Amino acid sequence: MITSGLVNLYTHDIDASVAFYRDLLGLTETFRTPREGTPDHVELAAGGFVLGLGSVAAAASVHGVVSTPGAPAMAVVLWCDDVDATYDAAAAAAATAVQEPRDAGNGNRTALLRDPDGTLVELVAKRD
C-alpha cells in the first residue's frame, strides 16, 4: 500500500531550482543531501505537497536515468493566495513568463511560468 509520495524534478542547476521554488515561490525546504555544498537532492513542501529536486548527475549515478529537464510533458501546479502577485514577483525576478494571469474555468485564476530548467509551473487560485 502506498502511504505517501512526491514529484521529483531533475534539474541541470539545482541551486537555481531551489532558489526558484524556495526563495521565489515560498515552498519550505524540508530535506537536503548532502547537507554541505551543492546538493544532489532537495525536498520542498507547501501544504501536503512535496516537491523533490534532483540533479541530472545524481539521476544518472544513483538511478542510471538519463533525464531531460524542462521537456513540456508536465506542469507543476501550485495553489497560491494571489496568482497576480505571485506571478508579478516571479516575473520581476526574471522567471520566464508563459501566460499572464487570467480567469479560467471552475472559478479559478491561473498563470504559467517556467522554472530555471524550463518546466512549466502553473499558479492557481480561486477567484473571489
**What is the pLDDT confidence band of residue 108, given thresholds at 50, 70 and 90?**
very high
Q: Are strands 108-114 and 49-55 parallel, antiparallel or unpaired?
A: unpaired
CA distance 96 to 18: 16
Phi-psi region of 63 (alpha: psi -120 to 50; beta: other; left: phi over 0): alpha
Percent of residues, the chain, with pLDDT higher than 90: 70
Please report, as a single letter, which amino acid is at residue 78.
L
Name every residue whose Cβ is closer than 8 Å to that of residue 125 and which is 6 or more positions away in sequence: 79, 80, 81, 82, 83, 108, 109
Name every residue whose Cβ is closer than 8 Å to that of residue 29 and which is 6 or more positions away in sequence: 18, 22, 42, 43, 44
Output phi, psi for 125, to 5 deg. -145, 155
| pLDDT exceeds cutoff 60 at 2 | no
| pLDDT exceeds cutoff 70 at 3 | no
Residue 63: per-residue pLDDT: 75
Q: Quick one: average pLDDT of 89-107?
A: 91
Does an H or E element contain 90, and which?
helix 83-92
Per-chain mean pLDDT for the chain: 90
Domain boundaries, the chain: 7-126
Percent of residues, the chain, with pLDDT higher than 70: 96
Q: Which fold has domain 7-126?
A: 2,3-Dihydroxybiphenyl 1,2-Dioxygenase; domain 1 (3.10.180)
Residue 73: per-residue pLDDT: 66
Does an H or E element contain 32, and which?
strand 28-33
**What is the pLDDT confidence band of residue 106, given thresholds at 50, 70 and 90?**
confident
Length of the chain: 128
pLDDT digits (tens, 9 = 90+) for 14-73: 999 999 999 999 999 999 999 999 999 999 999 999 999 999 998 888 778 788 887 766
